[in-house]
Structure 1
Amino acid sequence: MNTRHLLLTGLTLALSTSAWADFSASPEEARGIAKEAYLYGFPVVEMYKTLYTQAVDSKSPNYKAPFNQIGNTAKAFTAKDTAFVTPNADTPYSFVWMDLRAEPLILTLPPIEEHRYYSVQLIDAYTQNFAYLGTRSTGNNGGHFMIAGPDWQGQQPVNIDRLLRSESNIAYALYRTQLFDEKDLAKVKQIQKGYKVETLSHYVKQKAPAPAPKVSWPKPTPTMSETPDLFRYLNFMLAFTPPQDIEKDLLARFAKIGIGAGQPFDLKSLSAEQHKALEDGISDAKAEFATLKKDKIDTHQVTSGDFFGTRDHLKGNYLYRYTGAKVGIFGNSAEEANYIGYFVDKNGQPVDAGKHDYTLHFDKGALPPADAFWSLTMYDGKNQLLVANPLNRYLINSRMLADLRLDADGGLTLYVQHKNPGKDKQANWLPAPNGPFYGVLRIYLPQPQVASGEWKIPLLTPVDAKQ
């Protein structure tokens, strides 16, 4: 019986530091392995941080609901919401953290009017989007959908519309329900009340199986994602993820620095040389990301669609999976939404509203082509959260077009800056922090010309230099 099986069938699954797995790699080899393992494990650990604050720590201001229950946020995100970076303020969220060890869950969706976009993004412990429910994938007529873990073997009820499997026994269902405006909030709340979650045994009215072992969820630390301590949390989370055959050799390589499902990872047992090798490997990984961001992300040579999706879509590119978790964890797959990040201006310079005002201009007939809607949202460059401002305006989206002022030629110019541009331009003002920022243009259900490049992405233009 292997270690992972013992952990999952014992009385308690916990993060241990009482022993130390073999660290057989030389310092030079360990540095290379640490780089790979950091890129591989960062999304898993970042996901754990969100899991802990939303489903485990009931005292957290970001707590939503216990495992296998749904938590609804009946408001759009604001600057006060800090559970995860780069939040979407267009669509109030609902959250289900799924523990699939004992049995599957049934997600029931109500019928929703055809003109309203909604989705349920199903995410495994690696942050891979393994499936979707909702407008694009299953329509707006509702239905019953079963989510099963990797170990489940059983009979699918006849009235289940679709069976979907997660690679991991811990998974996340992230619901987005389009909010048209403040007056629409009551309707969104009513829709959210129709989202139902129940265990398979409850759904079919049969006796529940034996409960899964109790888990001692380790408390996150402030630096857990930035230091070798990440590997300790990675080992804990890997106990919920049966190894994939395609990763057999990779995981064997990771084992040379003590990484393995459910294994202890005690940094105090390392020599100074070994510890430095891990830190250097992490630095190498961060440097590789920085190069990717500068050369390809900031220049729009790669898009969000490259970073989010299924395992098959990502094709083993752990740098891309890391990038997704780093710049906007739980981002949508390309067919669901396209994300365009504005980190630099048209001259390739980092955007900073403490130094410049900016405009973003769309030519007549060249607004983002979306079958659902589009939205430009502002984020603080320092903390990656929404920006507090006098208008309480965090975005400009296609639902607001009637209230925006068009240019004389029918185009649209948005003013991206810290100070109010004046009454004549305020309708088109997207408030920025007094310092570094970035914007994200989201295109929900993007039309083909987005992926083909036929639609040209407009760039931020600095309009003045402040003294």
Structure 2
Amino acid sequence: MRDDLPALAAEAYGYGYPLLQDLQAVGTASVFNAFVHQRSVPDTPNANPDLLYSIAQLDLSGGPLWLRVPDTGGRYHVVQFVDAWTDNFAYVGSRTTPDEEREFLLVPPGWAGREAPAAEVIRVPTMITTLIARFGVGPGVHALQDALTIDRMYPRVSLDGLPHPQAGVPDELIFLETLRRSLAAFPPSPAERRFQRRFAPLGLFDGGNSPYPTMPREQRAAIREGLDRGREALEEAATTEHAALVNGWTNDLHTFDYNLDYFEVGTVDAPQWTLPDRDTAHHVRAVAARTRLWGHHAYEAVDPTVHKDRDGVRLAGDRAYTLRLDPPPPSAGGWSLAMYDGPGSRLVPNELDKHSVGAGTPGLRTDPDGSVTILIQHDRPDDPAALPNWLPAPWGEFHPVLRVYAPADAILRDEYHLPPLVETVR
């Protein structure tokens, strides 16, 4: 058994990492079962200038919750549902549900109570769940955020909250102890539970007191070796596994296709959007949790990124570029190209306080053939008519990100390819 334990522990690390990463993020919440609203675009890496976010951490151990979504008047919005295992299991919003005011009853696992007949029911796979709402920036957006509410179906009761490791567990085995407690609190689908049984020799299913404080030293060393190996393998995968470049752009359409079991409103249960086997799904899920926790399926939005021009030279503000979109990205929710600096992936300060160019940009100039040409450069264009199409760049290195909301089938089938950025003479 000593020879098997390191390999088993390494596998358990990758398998359990998404769950523990999710719960660690959930644990920073100041309140449960209520939305916390982002009122302005933050100065954080990869901040999205198109949307304002409202996030709620749910604990359904006290019973069902009501979710009320306002009438958005056609403004792009989405409420993304993420369970404790980081599976995206529902989307409510522009792509999937009408824009009028709607009410949903969110019911916990195993719920056997009476459901309100007038409500649309969403079955939540785990007691702890994250809701991420996104609203298009614009007049009245704060009122829309405030109208997004969560209420209890029953009077307030004490909630279970998050599990904590038992005291006295050696530091090197805290990961497994936290995973042991979390597996008991947030059991996955029956198929996943069958898969998990392979980890029984690690003590992950020992009930009651933790097995780790009294575990023999040799066994503990073998497990520690495996956990280190699993951690190193995940770090390697997170830095090396990327979609192939197309004209300099990265656009991985299947980073979040690892949910194989729970499909509520707005999710697509189809071979194109589910991975072929559980081993592959677990690996992809771990890498996604390491690199882009709480990301969404490509059929909700895509965000290709470019770092180099047509000639393979890294983008920098001492040169000027054009991007000719012919045609612009087809979508139901619009598109925009945002600018980020090289070292910090932050939005770039500029004289116009302008961080993106897109379908909603006032005065955006369209060429006679229907294409849109975006000017990407540090200096303000000489022609005032070109200002709407100007995306200000920093002087140093940078990378634009193109976001397409509710993309059309041509994008999802990988038939629409973005052109390269072309350096221009100033």
- TM band (smaller chain): 0.7 to 0.9
1:68-467 matches, within 5 Å, as: 68-75=33-40, 77-79=41-43, 81=44, 86-113=46-73, 115-160=74-119, 162-180=120-138, 184=139, 187-201=140-154, 207=155, 210-213=157-160, 215=162, 231=176, 233-259=178-204, 274-293=223-242, 295=244, 303-308=252-257, 310-312=259-261, 313-315=273-275, 316=278, 317-343=281-307, 345-346=309-310, 351=314, 353=316, 357=319, 359=321, 361-363=323-325, 365-379=326-340, 385-391=345-351, 392-400=353-361, 402-403=363-364, 411-416=371-376, 419-420=378-379, 423-424=382-383, 428-432=390-394, 434-435=396-397, 438-461=399-422
Are residues 265 and 382 of structure 1, via their aligned partners in 2, closer, same or farther at CA, if it must alter by over 3 Å? farther
Partners of 1:88 and 1:248 in 2: how far apart? Answer: 37
How far 1:360 moved relative to its partner? 5.1
Paired residue secondary structure (1:157)? coil
CA distance in 2, matches of 1:278, 1:298: 39
Secondary structure (helix, strand or coil) at the match of 1:307 reads: coil
Instruction: Tell whether the 8 Å contact from 1:308 to 1:324 is kept in structure 2 after alignment.
Output: no
- Which sits farther off after the overlay, 39-48 or 90-99? 39-48
Q: Secondary structure at the match of 1:287?
A: helix
Q: 1:87 to 1:429 in 2, by over 3 A?
A: closer
Where does structure 2 lack aligned partners over 5 or more consecutive residues? 166-170, 262-272
Q: Aligned residue for 2:264?
A: none
The alignment's C-alpha RMSD in Å is: 3.7
Cα deviation for residue 216 of structure 1 reads: 6.6
Give 2:301's aligned amino acid: A
Separation in structure 2 between the aligned mates of residue 452 and residue 382 of structure 1, nearest angstrom: 33
Once the 2 structures are TM-superposed, how far is the Cα of residue 264 of structure 1 from its aligned partner? 7.4
Q: TM-score, normalised by structure 2?
A: 0.78
Q: 1:402 to 1:142 in 2, by over 3 A?
A: same
TM-score (norm. length: structure 1): 0.72
| 1:254, distance to aligned residue in structure 2 (A) | 3.3
Q: Which amino acid aligns with 1:199?
A: R
Q: CA, structure 1 residues 322+421, in 2 after alignment: closer, same or farther (shift >3 Å)? A: farther
Counting aligned pairs with the same residue, the percent is 25
Unaligned runs of 5+ in 1: 1-23, 57-65, 202-206, 219-223
CA displacement at 1:171 relative to structure 2: 0.3
Structure 1 stretches of 4+ with a deviation exceeding 6 A read: 264-270, 296-302, 407-410
C-alpha displacement of 1:86? 3.6
Cα deviation for residue 242 of structure 1 reads: 1.3
